[in-house]
Amino acid sequence: MSHVSHADLTLGASAWTKPWSGSNGGNCVEVKQLGNGYVAVRQSQDPDGPALIFTAQDIAEVVRGAKAGEADFLLS
């Protein structure tokens, strides 16, 4: 993954989705597609806090890896 600085980017409150929400009391990961080919990821409990910005390709690799079991160590 590359390191890109977007410190001056305003993400706003609209268009955030919770693709992985569950029975965790609303404590979820939220994502937002940005118009420049990037995806923002933030913690739903801290919507005014920092967001991580990834390329769409990087997010796709994370999702593929999670589906393949590469993140199963996080469950123990």
Picking from 15, 19, 10, 3, the residue whose alpha carbon sits closest to that of residue 48 is: 10
**Average pLDDT score over residue span 34-48:** 89
How sure is the predictor about 11, in pLDDT bands with cuts at 50, 70 and 90? confident
Q: How confident is the model at residue 7 (pLDDT cuts 50, 70, 90)?
A: low
C-alpha dihedral (60, 61, 65, 70), degrees to nearest 10: -140
- Mean pLDDT score, 41-65: 91
Domain boundaries along the sequence of the chain = 1-76
Instruction: Give the confidence band of 57 by pLDDT, cuts at 50, 70, 90.
Output: very high
